[in-house]
Chains A and B, each alone.
Chain A
């Protein structure tokens, strides 16, 4: 089998252009006088917006009929090690790539009022961060991937540490150390595979496609490699019990930092699993399903219960992330097309919904300088527009039909159900608890009478806030009503992934379909009464049920 490295219909390195444009913008800002705050703000937003706009054509140019990588750039980078500069996206990474450009533009716009000091450094950090994140989603050489994976930590460290709240220093270094700890073990695994690849083929390479094509990793070794990658990614997701950095980082980060953290950074963990762990270590992946399912279910329920107990709005949203990401993980490890599609869609949903929730909390914080739930109450009378936006965002997060969360959660749960209905039963409790803590939060802050006089005179949303909330709400409704384009983009990629990681899935499915068809065509053969829905034996029916 020859490796197919993919194609590039544009003929020029569009992914690199999108990735490095923010970096170029950051370097430009470096030379602008720091007194020109207004110019820096608008320039940074301009760069982020242009970056989003030039990433939109990717959506239209993407060939939905192939799982091969597209918009590929590939050339030798460090010859002595066989490292390549290899960029490309498939149906899964394209969606996350676009999510990143979309959310960064919104995050930059949302910072205009919030950031009051050292604006120049702030916007530089934001733009460098964007470059790092985009690189993670586009890189297909594991050395390159690792470089972006680590580089991105640095600006995030500064974002939390400089512009965060009271305990920012602690949160910033905790975030950095936790993530670095995981990723170093991933680095060890990457190097081990590098030597294994050389051992098998005699060639030095970190190329992801080559690894997939030529490398067979023995079972016992897969086990260790999976665990090392698991450590790197699970900390990032974060999966219980590696989640303790997350509430700290989220609560202490500035609003836009939280948006990026929840919206994009957590997705890197799940993306890492989808991109690397699943296809590279299929046997280990299947072996570890019960283990991961257990951790995910704990995360779903524990995260939701913690959220229920929070007094700080931001912390509540942070714990809800733990719960939601648990569902993403559980659905992914169902290893069927529906589960993985749901998982990817839910990554996007969580990105926009939780991002929007953090923005909502940020808007109210800018007015009242507190995030404690008990300080509020009855706000819907004072700020009706804000209350409406909050309502839609909250409903999207709890999965109301007609909004994006519903589609994502439904697909995820359906995928999990197909694999094992008991897992799904546990996961559903998370959805129920999710509705509980969110509705309760909304009730306590928005409804009732105004008990705190400080809440009386606060201003409703201004034009700029309208500007960045509206695209998010449109996205909620779009995905909620017509998610087909998104499923279309990832369908072929996800099917191929399932073939790689769970090769028996399609065979079994085809066999059972054939048998079902045969049975339905000859209903009398088994001698049952006419009109019986299915002539199959009970045990066989259950089998099909379990698979399809």
Chain B
């Protein structure tokens, strides 16, 4: 008996393949670059990411319908493409804000950039996974790189603690996900989302206890990654301890990847369990928003505050998942770009304030910034407004879409809770504005930002405002991402 293996359509994985070549190539090149000029590796990585981003973008027009390869385990659709661009954008900005920071921290090593690219690769695979195993592989690729990156300043205790915590967390994620996958396999006999959906429908398994248990397992696994309550306890410690560029990175990209995977698995694979996961997500959404915002009120450290605020943002995003309609997917997609702009920007400001002997992550470090660096203060206000969801910023448009999705689905009470939460959020975001504008500066050493950081801040700042005033281009792209799921959506 001969087994014929069909040749997979390799054209769909060109971006991922390029990423592998790029990351391995960087490791090689790194060997020939002297220690004090590792910045060059960063430039190369940046150029590579931009190229991959452009290559990825060329698929957009060709993919009016989803295309699959590797026997249907790997899918490329506009949803996946959109998220891949989110990751690549975030990676590019992270590289820009890392260049000088690494030198200040004296950990300017070439591996840093290679690891970052491997991490991006993992996420790119993750959003294209049409099979639970592929998604799992993506998560592991991503997570292994992030563990190392989170502990990159190995002489710093807090940093090491953060890395260890993140590692332990990752182990749990793997455990829960694998257990969930195994249970689904036991119940349906497949790990491929298409087939799982078909079996659930064919055998009417939508109330099967085994499947419901596996749904809980998967939700826990993804929930740990996106730091939704009650699995958010790791976030503040890791965010505070990790190198700030990495904090910025993990607050956006892995979260986006986990959300994308969650959407794909829940909408595509176990859509028929919607009555069950709707109840689950409703509660989790309300709790996540509230805990995130209320705890953020108590923080004095900006990195910790932003960590809790990112928990709250995960709550808002769950509104979109819960709504299970086109506006919801559009909202999630749009929000992640907006979130990348504003969160990278806010963390960028923290890096900007990094001086010799001063970490720059205490609210007091922002005191009087409006008088010493007026332009920087204005930019920070833009990010804060966007995080608080106040127009004319991209954050407002994103929040508007998420609210709209939930209202369309009839979750009025949940939106009311989200609205109250937004008021709370404004209070702590504007504590930073208060420190900058209404308190007097203390004599501190001069700031000396790198050019990369300035460029990154300009880019995200302009985008935050531009897509707040004229969101049409990004919004119509985000709208198209919902096409894959149209048949599953209400």
Contacts and interface: CB of A to CB of B under 8 A. Distances in A.
Interface of A: 77-81, 118, 121, 146-147, 150-151, 153-154, 157-158, 161-162, 168-169, 172-173, 176-177, 180-181, 184-185, 187-188, 191-192, 194-195
Given A147-B391, A147-B392, A195 B423 contact: no
B476 interface: yes
Contacts of A173: 427, 430, 434
A172 B407 CA distance: 31
Given A150-B396, A195-B407, 19 more contacts: A78-B472, A79-B476, A121-B370, A147-B391, A150-B391, A151-B391, A153-B390, A154-B381, A161-B437, A169-B438, A180-B422, A180-B426, A181-B420, A181-B423, A185-B419, A187-B419, A188-B416, A191-B404, A195-B404
A79 B470 CA distance: 10
Given A80-B479, A168-B438, A188-B412, A177 B472 contact: no
Contacts of A194: 404
7 contacts: A77-B470, A79-B472, A118-B371, A176-B426, A181-B423, A188-B415, A192-B407
A177 B438 contact: no
B423 A180 contact: yes
B452 interface: no
B266 interface: no
The B interface, classified by DSSP as helix, strand, loop or mixed, is: helix
Contacts of B408: 195
B27 interface: no
Interface string B406-444: 011000100110011011001100100110011000000
B450 interface: no
Nearest to B401: A81
B485 interface: no
A173 B297 CA distance: 14
A310 B486 CA distance: 63
Contacts of B416: 185, 188
B419 A162 contact: no
Contact of A78 (B330, B422, B471): B471
User: What are the 10 tightest A-B residue pairs by CB atom distance, in nearest-first order?
Assistant: A184-B419, A80-B475, A147-B391, A80-B476, A181-B423, A191-B404, A191-B407, A78-B472, A161-B438, A150-B391
A1 to B, nearest CB: 27
Contacts of A161: 434, 437-438
Interface residues of B, number: 35
Given A78-B471, A188-B412, A194-B404, A150 B390 contact: yes
A158 B433 CA distance: 9
B316 interface: no
Interface string B456-487: 00000000000000111001100100000000
A24 to B, nearest CB: 15
Contacts of B423: 177, 180-181, 184
B181 to A, nearest CB: 36
Q: Which of A118, A121, A188 has the most CB of B within 10 A?
A: A188
B307 interface: no
Contacts of B370: 121
B296 to A, nearest CB: 15
A77 B469 CA distance: 9
Nearest to B385: A154
B467 to A, nearest CB: 11
A535 B391 CA distance: 63
Contacts of A188: 403, 407, 412, 415-416, 419
A81 B370 CA distance: 36
B216 interface: no
A344 B205 CA distance: 64
A161 B475 CA distance: 35
B118 to A, nearest CB: 35
B427 A177 contact: yes
Contacts of A192: 407, 412
Interface string B374-406: 100000010001000011100010001001100
A198 to B, nearest CB: 9
Chain B CB count within 10 A is highest, among A81, A146, A177, for A81
Interface in B314-344: 330
Contacts of A180: 390, 422-423, 426
Contact of A162 (B385, B390, B415, B438): B438
Residue in A146, A154, A168 whose Cβ sees the most chain B Cβ within 10 Å? A154
A157 B381 CA distance: 12
Contacts of B430: 157, 173, 176
Given A78-B472, A147-B392, A150-B391, A191 B403 contact: yes
A184 B422 contact: yes
